[in-house]
Structure 1
Amino acid sequence: MRANYPRIKAWVGLSEEGYVNHPRDPGGATDRGVTQRTFDAWNLKQGKPKRPVRGITKHVVEQINEFQYLDAVRAADLPVGLDYAMADYAVNSGPGRAAKDLQRTLGVQVDGVMGVQTLAAVTKADTADLIQRLCQRRMRFLGGLKHWDTFKGGWTRCVMGDQPGVHIR
């Protein structure tokens, strides 16, 4: 739901604060959740020169997130709650993976395209149950990454909140 975009962008921003260049993070240098590679591509698209991602403004991050992630997973066409879950998944793991895992969760053709078939299946699903199952699937994916042990605490809080008893292995 597009009316939720300001809230979604704010919530995504809560878990993506400040500049980080962790040696175990395959994304490399990141500020406010935007990698240097994504920022370079954004600047190129805008006709601007490359520059360090460090110090990127909140406004630019929100523009990138809307264009690159929220619109890509059709967050404006999703029910409240699922729009945020998909936006956060897309920002952190890419819109293609987010779309494919939603499709797997729905039991529809997995092609990574948030098209009419996927959206129709979403309208038939129980939203709360769908969000829960999607987040569990996301946690299984994250748990299989080689750098899980380094980032598991933050990822778990980001995806599942502080729910007691959340385990993926």
Structure 2
Amino acid sequence: MTFDEAFRRLIGHEGEYSNDRRDPGNWTGGKVGVGTLKGTKFGIAANTYPNLDIKNLSLAQAKQIYKKDWWDKLGGHGLHSAITFQLWDFAINAGKSRAIMELQQVAGVVADGIIGSKTIEVVNSLDLNDVILSLTAERLKFYTSLSKWPTYGKGWTNRVADNLKYAVQDN
């Protein structure tokens, strides 16, 4: 899995500019009504990048951010690329630590939110499909636990469903 392919898939999930007041990610303070409502564009959100001009962000700038801050920093490059993509997409949508800890729980290793050699070794020893399906199940359980599920749950579920289709292609 190359970064370019992962990014192409991701942008299929992440839309143009949105400044939905109900979305905590659209606020620079990370909570509805806290900070400035700057919105989200290409999935780059004001809560994570409060000093960025979100509305005028270009696709090329978003791609650079995803490469530098997410793809390069995830630490999943020793894993099967099908897992790396699923983990990366989950991390972008729910946070790196959350996604990594869910993977670690699936693997039965200490859930510290950091992908180290032990996590990679154990995950790689497991059946690829079992890991992807279990990680996807944990992802859905996480989403359904969120107070914003009634508002955004359909979109999150569609995103996960599309990613399951990618998992079929990747394994």
TM range (shorter): 0.7 to 0.9
Q: 1:33 maps to which residue?
A: 43
Residue 20 (structure 2) pairs with residue 10 (structure 1): no
Distance 1:51 1:120 in 2: 38
User: Displacement of 1:37 after TM fit?
Assistant: 3.6
Q: 2:133 maps to which residue?
A: 132
Q: 1:93 maps to which residue?
A: 94
Q: TM-score, normalised by structure 1?
A: 0.83
User: Displacement of 1:71 after TM fit?
Assistant: 2.3
Unaligned runs of 5+ in 2: 27-38, 165-171
Given that 1:72 and 1:95 are in contact with CA atoms closer than 8 Å, whether structure 2 keeps it comes out as no
Matches for 1:82-161 after TM superposition, within 5 Å: 82-161=83-162
Residue 79 (structure 2) pairs with residue 75 (structure 1): no
SS of structure 2 residue aligned to 1:27: helix
Q: Percent identity?
A: 28
- Deviations 1:101-155 (Å, cap 9, x if unpaired)? 1000111011111011101112101112101110110100000100101111110
Count of residues paired in the alignment: 152
Distance 2:123 2:163 in 1: 26
Distance 2:122 2:45 in 1: 33
CA RMSD of aligned residues (A): 1.7
Higher relative contact order (CA 8 A, sep 6+): 1
User: Displacement of 1:162 after TM fit?
Assistant: 9.0
